[in-house]
Amino acid sequence: MRVDDFPAELTPLQGAMPAWCATVDAAMWRHAAEDVREKGGRLVALWGARAAVHMTLTIRSGLVWLKLPLMPQQLLYPDIGDIFPAANRMQRAAFDLVGVRADSRDQRRWLRHGAWPGDQFPLRESFDGTHHWPNSGDDYAFVPVVGDGVHEIPVGPVHAGTIEPGHFRFSVVGERVLRLEQRLGYKHKGIEKRFESFAIQDGYRLAGRISGDSTVAYAWAYAMAAESAARLAPPPRALWLRALLLERERIANHLGDLGFLGNDAGLAFGLAQLSRLKERVLRTNLALFQHRYLMDAIVPGGVARDLSREGAETIRREIESLHPEVARLKTIFDEHPGLQDRLISTGRVAPELADRLGLVGLAGRASAMAWDLRAQLPTPPYNQLDVRMVTHRNGDVAARVTVRFEEVLESLKLCAAILDRMPQGEIGSTLSIPTEGSTGLGWVEGWRGEVLIALEAGAGGSLRRVHAHDPSWQNWPVLEHAVIGNIVPDFPLINKSFNLSYSGVDL
């Protein structure tokens, strides 16, 4: 679908990315979702705000932001979970935080966990964020699975390793998984409420801490949204530096995950070698940008730190060293019979299922979902770079490993091209205070998938509402399907091949 074919009248949004907005009624809300789905589009995000519900949808031309106002005495809107299955959890979270309710059969709480009374909603103006209530519990209704030989294995939310909390209930016969149901929300920390206390020029600091392994993607998306609201275009050099940081974040995360995937399948050599390479990248980040994970390097209006000529040469030498080592390790992974026996056909998500459930990011590309913002809807400087999108069709752990290796090699190539073509000039512009009610969108292809920030400015440079969306919202439900038919001991391998964010969805 292109913008001219959209069923509602759209108004262009200012900013670096092609985006449009519209205010719709309840009938158009659902009709638009159906029409976009029928013509190959996707749901990106859904959230609530002050007697309204919002969603963003992809179309071929760009991104569409729809707002559905609701009556204060009737905060009910049409369910779209049957059109876009990923909407189910987003709708439930919107009720927990704002009190807007989808007309859905599944009304279970998602984020609350009994941490505040059921008639209180943290994102309403009347909510006292400083008050502490005794935890009342929420008696979450997991779906039971019964039958001869079926038993249930509960895992978490507290895990043996130093990882984030999530609860998983496996219904199994022997070691074969019949069903998995997830319960998240344990990392809820009031991020969206906290944004209300930030000035628009400072919100990037909180955005970059939503999901620490994606600090560049979140900070860039926030900066893009703030710049859109303020009608500001950053200097060209700042945009090229942002792209360099984003690709370095992608490289570091893929290298780390590939090492752990090798280790989970019994190849400790892979963990040792790939951890060594990741550490090299992180140390270079610290030396050149003052933070191993590039925290606070991107700010509204540009970047916080420039790159010297000597620094650029350091990165070039690193690229020349990393490329042959990564290529060699990919060959070792590909040709290791024991490793491939564990990876091939494990945790498979067929392309048809991936399309139905809206799988995105690297996991989507491993299941033939050919979508990468850097290639399809490139913003500067990606519109001046030849980005080769990496895809695979098998949709199993092996395919997700292949996509990661090839994306590392592609990102190394892009880093070299960025260094060769980066213009001279300023690295930042001053962000003016946007008018009250101004809105902005930021949309960035992070290493895990697309990160979205939707922003509404308040009075005097304050933030009235900020919604941050992680691709894990779409991909966590798909993991429940990916494990069906596999054995329980393969779950850590399947889970790591997705490596989804808890913190990114437990806002």
CATH number of the CATH domain containing 413: 1.10.645.10
Among residues 379, 410, 430, which one ends one of the domains?
430
List Cβ neighbours of 39 (8 Å cut-off, separation of 6 or more): 1, 5, 59
Is pLDDT above 80 for 161?
A: no
The predicted pLDDT at position 74 comes to 87
- CA-nearest of 285, 289, 262 to 273 is 262
The predicted pLDDT at position 82 comes to 97
Which residue range is the domain that position 445 belongs to? 188-232+433-469
Element (DSSP H or E) covering residue 474 = helix 472-482
Residues in a beta bridge with 132: none
Q: Same domain for 225 and 241?
A: no
Whether 260 is in a domain gets the answer yes
Whether 25 is in a domain gets the answer yes
Whether 150 is in a domain gets the answer no
Q: Same domain for 288 and 402?
A: yes
Q: Which residues of 112-134 are buried (b: 16+ CB within 10 A; e: fewer)?
A: bbebbeeeebbbeeebeeeeeee
Q: Same domain for 393 and 439?
A: no
Whether 169 is in a domain gets the answer no
List Cβ neighbours of 403 (8 Å cut-off, separation of 6 or more): 362, 365, 366, 390, 391, 392
The CA distance from 503 to 256, in Å, is: 18
The predicted pLDDT at position 3 comes to 84
The predicted pLDDT at position 4 comes to 77
Q: Same domain for 251 and 206?
A: no
Q: Same domain for 122 and 193?
A: no
The predicted pLDDT at position 5 comes to 84
Total count of domains within the chain: 3
Q: Same domain for 384 and 319?
A: yes
Grade residue 419 by pLDDT with cuts at 50, 70 and 90. Answer: very high
Q: Same domain for 407 and 440?
A: no
- Mean pLDDT over the full length of the chain: 95
Whether 479 is in a domain gets the answer no
List Cβ neighbours of 278 (8 Å cut-off, separation of 6 or more): 252, 255, 256, 259
CB atoms within 10 A of CB 196: 17
Whether 182 is in a domain gets the answer no
pLDDT digits 0-9 by tens, 359-397 = 999 999 999 999 999 999 999 999 999 999 999 999 999
Grade residue 137 by pLDDT with cuts at 50, 70 and 90. Answer: confident
Q: Same domain for 346 and 215?
A: no
Whether 170 is in a domain gets the answer no
Whether 168 is in a domain gets the answer no
Q: Same domain for 54 and 83?
A: yes
Q: Residues 441, 230: contact at Cβ < 8 Å?
A: no
pLDDT digits 0-9 by tens, 175-209 = 999 999 999 999 899 999 999 999 999 999 999 99
The predicted pLDDT at position 473 comes to 98
Q: Same domain for 284 and 398?
A: yes
Q: Same domain for 437 and 422?
A: no
Residues in a beta bridge with 23: 67
Identity of the amino acid at 474 = Q
CATH number of the CATH domain containing 121: 3.30.460
Q: Same domain for 382 and 437?
A: no
pLDDT digits 0-9 by tens, 75-112 = 999 999 999 999 999 999 999 999 999 999 999 999 99
